[in-house]
Amino acid sequence: MMIIGAEVAYNGLGTPQPNGAVVLQRRKSQVTVLSIESYGSAVKAFPDAVVLGKDFAISPPPVNAHTHLDLSKMPYSPGSYEEFIPQVVRHRRRLTDPVEAAKIGVERVKAAGTTVIGDIVKSDSVMRFLLNQTGLRGVAYLEVFEPDPTLAKKVFFETEERIKEYQALEKPSCMQVGISLHSPHTVSEPLLKEISGLSVQRNLPLQIHVSETSGEIAFHKDGTGPFPELYGDLLRNWKPSGLTPVGYLAKIGVLKARPTLVHMVHVNEADVREVQRAGCTVVHCPRSNANLNCGRFPWAMFAKHGTTVAIGTDSLGSSQSLSVYEEVHEAMALHGNSISPLALVRSAVKGGHRALGLRPPKVGRGDDQTQFQVWGRRGPNLDLGIGVTDNIGEIDK
């Protein structure tokens, strides 16, 4: 028998346990969970067990709910958002083999100890590559980017065809297909409506980047701010709604599709109420927001309204790594006492699954030890497959 303690122990459902522990037992060659409970009660109930020191968390593996693996060859480029976007555009133009970049991304994600991701996919080749990956689950979101309303019908029919094709390639226990609307201003209103309708009709997970910068707010309010210069002729048809980006998405019916809303830094309380009413999940990318000077995600306001928050790394262009564990610790440093470690772990695990439209996992008695992770600041900390399980074997002899 073995007890591993952690600041937070979470079985995947309900409220995480502060100062918790997982109790492991060996049955023949398999090491399984006996219980996840408070550290104190575990030590009392199993006085003969080997007790390992405390780590940060014990939980089902956390999810990286938002990334762009095809940008994994882009140099890390901190600065302002307005400087970053042209760099992404230039990088993509020069990128001859996006699959090679996505491969690097997959390796990085796996090396960081994550197997469930939400990835934004631009190219056909990367989509096919991801749907064929083993050992990786989650959603590959086909990105739609077309601000010209006269092209809405054409792009919609093309997207619908591609989605059908990709869904036919889906395999059990691998990545599934979703759609990403790039943002509320880089996709025209008719296309936003059509695609969100398609998402409902075909039960497709949907993600949108929303309210990432203060410039986005100004652009939606009255067409001012840095966006007219940033996007130039591309957004020549833009007519500001006078609303917030969230208010605009609510007004035109997109929130009815319950999209997962990524970033959500510049929101007011009415926006948060709207999001909560619609039942949307929000993805927080703390390092990307900090590195691109986007501002501070108002987590306390989302918490006040009970919104489900997930965690994402965004791309290697705007973040130092693809480790969601490092992202969680960055969030902890950023939000301090306003968000508890319990809420952070629940967000990274349950929130992450919700963001991708997946059923959150639950670990309990009899489950194999591979169903959970013991993790700290930089990632999974214990190789339970070797050291720890051998140790349990010795104890049982």
- Binding-site ranges for Zn ion (CB under 5 A): 314
The CA angle 276-282-287, to the nearest 5 degrees, is 145
Report the C-alpha gap between 319 and 371 in whole angstroms.
Answer: 28
Report the C-alpha gap between 190 and 237 in whole angstroms.
Answer: 13
With CA atoms as reference, report the closest residue to 171 among 131, 138, 124.
131
Nearer of residues 146 and 314 to Zn ion, judged by Cβ: 314
CB proximity list for 260: less than 8 A, separation 6 or greater: 65, 118, 205, 206, 207, 208, 280, 281, 282, 283, 310, 355, 356, 357
φ, ψ (nearest 5 deg) of residue 337:
-75, -10
Q: How many helices, marked H, and strands, marked E, lie in the chain?
A: 16, 13
Q: Say which of 7, 146, 194, 212 is annotated catalytic.
A: 212
Nearer of residues 7 and 70 to Zn ion, judged by Cβ: 70
Nearer of residues 319 and 369 to Zn ion, judged by Cβ: 319
Q: Sign of torsion, CA 380 287 311 12?
A: positive
Alpha carbon 99 to chain centroid distance? 21
With CA atoms as reference, report the closest residue to 159 among 143, 174, 173.
143
Nearer of residues 189 and 314 to Zn ion, judged by Cβ: 314
In the complex, least distance from residue 209 CB atom to Zn ion, rounded to whole angstroms: 5
Nearer of residues 70 and 314 to Zn ion, judged by Cβ: 314
In the complex, least distance from residue 128 CB atom to Zn ion, rounded to whole angstroms: 21
Alpha carbon 328 to chain centroid distance? 11
212 is catalytic: yes
Residue 40 carries which side chain, given as an amino acid letter?
G
Residue 14 CA neighbour count, 13 Å, CB half: 11
In the complex, least distance from residue 66 CB atom to Zn ion, rounded to whole angstroms: 6
In the complex, least distance from residue 68 CB atom to Zn ion, rounded to whole angstroms: 6
Q: Which helix (H) or strand (E) holds 362?
A: none
Alpha carbon 96 to chain centroid distance? 27
Nearer of residues 59 and 64 to Zn ion, judged by Cβ: 64
3-class DSSP assignment, residue 297: coil
Q: Which helix (H) or strand (E) holds 129?
A: helix 124-131
In the complex, least distance from residue 258 CB atom to Zn ion, rounded to whole angstroms: 19
Report the C-alpha gap between 81 and 13 in whole angstroms.
Answer: 36
In the complex, least distance from residue 289 CB atom to Zn ion, rounded to whole angstroms: 11
Catalytic residues: 212
